[in-house]
Amino acid sequence: MGSIWELDFYSRPILDANQKKVWEILVCESPVDVRTKTDSLFRYAQYCPSTQVNSVWLRTALEEAINKAGEAPIKIRFFRRQMNNMITKACQDAGIPALPSRRALVLNQWLQQRMEEVYPQELGYQGEANPSVRLDRPLPQRLPDALEGKQWAFVTLEAKDFVDMPDWEIAFGEAFPLELAQLSPEIRIPGILIFSPRALPIAGWMSGLEMAYLRFDTSQGDRLILETGATESWVLANIRTPQLLKEAQGFEETKQKANGVHFIGVQSDPQVQSFSGFWLLQEVSL
């Protein structure tokens, strides 16, 4: 399997000699399991003059990144929805699928690090925040009937339990090194396990969604919401009993203590040792 890249192309808090915002492309490799060493992941950065912000410049920069990496990724993730057309066009012209995704954990940390340590050293640094444009998100969708689990449960594992995750039998899934979240080995990580005779089709469907994170939502009743892609969300479960409400609140509290880290597992029944799907997730602000 080839690598997956995370990409950002946006203006930075730096002005050029003409008092125009400097733009920048950032590309980094996505980790795919818990044993990945983050300092070994490929990274590429290049500033772009405001007069050259277009899909042609971006494609050229991507091709340079590919040359430096030695191979093209199998897909590229990006989280800025307002840049959708330009990024998608540049990636397509470079022959790489581009997918809107909030699963950009390495990129998010890299951006924060550059905001604190790199951009302030640049001539023309402005020192103010450089927020992304906020766009409305659609309402959560109802899961297709065929994809609803027959049973599910809240569970927790210690961070150290994930060390052996690459050795688990998992048909579909993805993970990341917990060093990204700076968690101690003993901290509890919450999650849910979904059980269904149709576990494999459910996991296969989830694998195509660019899984982002789970959240407990109380805005329109008590619900577990699965966030996917750049904007999509799905009602994974309705919380209907006081006991489940207490467990859902505990899930959210434990998730916050674990710096947003949590997981989803899909199995055919509670007795099996294998997983049809397993995703290690982290809720971050992008």
Which of 41-50, 147-156, 184-193, 234-243 is the least confident region? 147-156
**The predicted structure's pLDDT at residue 265:** 96
With pLDDT > 70 as the criterion, what percentage of the chain qualifies? 95
93-135 pLDDT, tens digit per residue, is 999 999 999 999 999 999 999 999 999 999 999 976 555 556 5
> What is the domain partition of the chain in residue ranges?
4-121, 141-282
Rounded to whole angstroms, how far apart are CA atoms 271 and 239? 24
Q: Which residue has the higher pLDDT, 109 or 142?
A: 109
10-23 pLDDT, tens digit per residue, is 999 999 999 999 99
**The predicted structure's pLDDT at residue 133:** 54
Class of domain 4-121: alpha beta
In this prediction, residue 255 has a pLDDT band, given cuts at 50, 70 and 90, of very high
